[in-house]
């Protein structure tokens, strides 16, 4: 997730059970949850919580945890908008610690 140049690439996040039922904003369609927009809410050694979704999607709150050593989405719920998460510098610091 952290590139050699120090930038965060959220699209490199590889988690089992990634939601494929994200609702499209304004129509009945669903699709794979995009990470075009994201907020990192919590990061510990065993848990990662984020809010994300594409411009056209209703955002979701994801809880990811290590399950048998594999990063796994354990909860995915629709949101009514984004909350402000930790800044990118704080996220990088936690990622590297």
Parent domain of 83: 15-96
What are 12's two structure tokens? Answer: 């490199």
Task: Give the predicted TM-score (pTM) of the model.
Answer: 0.86
Q: What is the pLDDT of residue 1?
A: 64
> What is the number of domains present in the chain?
1
Helices (H), 1-97: 88-96
Structural domain includes residue 29 = yes
Structural domain includes residue 30 = yes
Structural domain includes residue 10 = no
Which pLDDT tens digit goes with each residue over 39-77? 999 999 899 999 999 998 999 999 999 999 999 999 999
**Cα separation of 43 and 58, whole Å?**
23
């Amino acid at each position: 997730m952290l590139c050699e140049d120090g930038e965060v690439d959220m699209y490199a996040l590889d988690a089992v059970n990634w939601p494929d039922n994200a609702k499209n904003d304004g129509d009945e369609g669903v699709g794979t949850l995009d990470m075009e927009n994201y907020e990192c809410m919590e990061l510990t050694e065993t848990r990662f919580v984020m809010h994300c979704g594409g411009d056209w999607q209703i955002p979701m709150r994801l809880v990811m945890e290590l399950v048998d050593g594999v990063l796994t989405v354990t909860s995915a719920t629709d949101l009514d908008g984004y909350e402000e998460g930790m800044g990118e510098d704080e996220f990088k610091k936690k990622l590297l610690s």
